Amino acid sequence: MGIKYRLTLMNFLQFFIWGSWLISLGSYMGNTLSFTGGQIGSIFATMGIASLFMPGLLGIVADRWVNAERVLGMCHLIGAALLFWASTISDPKLMYLIMLFNAMAYMPTIALNNTVSYSVLEQKGFNVVKDFPPIRVWGTVGFICAMWVVDLCGWSLSPLQLYIGSASSLFLGLYAFTMPSCPPAKSKGKRSLLSALGFDAFVLFKRTKMAVFFIFAMLLGAALQITNTFGQSFLHDFSNSYSDSFAVTHPGLLMSVSQISETLFILSIPFFLHRFGIKKVMIISMFAWALRFGLFGLGNPGEGLVLLILSMIIYGMAFDFFNISGSLFVEMETEPGIRASAQGLFMIMTNGFGAFIGGVTSGWVVDLYTAANGVKDWRSIWFVFATYALVLGIIFPLVFRYKHERRIIKTSQAEEACDEATFRP
């Protein structure tokens, strides 16, 4: 099997694991285990807590001491055991603890998956910016497949979803050890105290451009958390007025249109990065988030279904243009010795601080527009979120100083000229 196919399978499994339970676990805990909303919310918040420190810590391990593919494999083996354990639990406190440990094992693997992919592609002489997106798109396909399997098999309210996640994690954990070696970068000369402590990637904040980039990545991470947390709750609240609507009976399938859209927009990333650069791509993402939320506010499962579908399609642009493009930007802007740490830092800012901020502030907004009888003013809620994304889109180009240049270079695969993006201060 060619190396691109092997990386494709790795990316597929990486997100198949997550998709098997991320969207449906809340329904299982609420409807089957009778957990309260607060208990469910706190369990999902474990992903944000773990993302604050685990991606950075394990990124340092992969940068300094242990091959990245081995760290990836060990994390998935640990995650397999924890997901299997979670399938047997009915106590909310123990579930919180186990899912916290699972998040500590899983969340770093997102960055490690990128690190291994980038490293292997570089070893084999491929162009990372050009060749990684078509590989990464299969991660989104894996997430969609897992969502559809769980929904169509009727496992949304069953612990079987956790069995599926556990088995997939076990397979990927073993498979990761068969990937080409991705050893820690060997640095020459004396290392500073900062380097010895493993805080290499944090020195990127000394560069104004990178500091601004990471701050806005955090703020966009908050937008992602908003849609993940309240997307299906919003659709379920139409059960009284649109009980027979597809959007209400199969909200998971409708939400999966967002991931299907990702697969298309991922393939467009090389073109947009080459043509416009990271600054304009990020701006497009912010305005796409504003449209995503605004269409939610205007749509409904009846005559407004087309607006909900459009919102799902726009999600692909909103997510990919900051998440995947941002990861590639970090890869191009950092030295080889700190790339795993830098990818971990990117995860900390988006899925750590971003998820925490998004969860807290969005919960406050939802409560603010919830009446005493429990009825939510979803239109106002989504318009508040849309305004938030719109403000980010207006401020970002004013503070992010970046010049995109294009030049003609020769690739290592062929001695012919090709148009390539370069990232410069």
Whole-angstrom distance, CA of residue 318 vs CA of residue 331:
20
Domains and CATH numbers, the chain: 1-183 (1.20.1250.20), 198-425 (1.20.1250.20)
Instruction: List Cβ neighbours of 399 (8 Å cut-off, separation of 6 or more).
Output: 212
Report which listed range, 142-146, 230-234, 273-277, is most confident: 142-146
- What is the pLDDT averaged over residues 189-216? 69
Q: Which residue has the tokens 């900390």?
A: 348
pLDDT band for position 190 (cuts 50, 70, 90): very low
**Closest to 93 measured CA to CA, from 147, 179, 35:** 35
What is the share, in percent, of the chain residues with pLDDT greater than 90? 38
Other residues' Cβ atoms within 10 Å of the Cβ of residue 206: 8
79 and 105 Cβ atoms separated by less than 8 Å = yes
| pLDDT for res 193 | 41
| pLDDT for res 187 | 54
| pLDDT for res 417 | 29
Whole-angstrom distance, CA of residue 412 vs CA of residue 385:
45
pLDDT reading at 422 higher than 70: no
* Candidate from 75-84, 106-115, 157-166, 244-253 with smallest mean pLDDT: 244-253
pLDDT reading at 411 higher than 50: no
319 and 262 Cβ atoms separated by less than 8 Å = yes
pLDDT reading at 334 higher than 90: no
Whole-angstrom distance, CA of residue 359 vs CA of residue 182:
35
Whole-angstrom distance, CA of residue 357 vs CA of residue 225:
9
Structure-block tokens of residue 93: 């406190």
pLDDT reading at 421 higher than 80: no
Q: Could you report how far apart the first and last alpha carbons of the chain are, in Å?
A: 40
Per-residue b or e along 115-138, where b marks 16 or more CB atoms closer than 10 Å to that residue's CB: bbbbbbbbeeebbbbbbbbebbbb
- What is the pLDDT averaged over residues 335-348? 76
Whole-angstrom distance, CA of residue 49 vs CA of residue 348:
9
- What is the pLDDT averaged over residues 335-353? 78
Q: Which residue has the higher pLDDT, 341 or 50?
A: 50
| pLDDT for res 286 | 93
* Candidate from 168-172, 195-199, 219-223, 239-243 with smallest mean pLDDT: 195-199
- What is the pLDDT averaged over residues 321-348? 79
| pLDDT for res 196 | 39
Instruction: List Cβ neighbours of 331 (8 Å cut-off, separation of 6 or more).
Output: 114, 118, 128, 339, 342, 343
Q: Write the pLDDT tens digit of every residue in 310-328.
A: 999 999 899 888 888 888 8
Whole-angstrom distance, CA of residue 166 vs CA of residue 172:
10
pTM over 0.85, yes/no: no
Q: Which residue has the tokens 């790339």?
A: 339
Amino acid letter for position 26: G
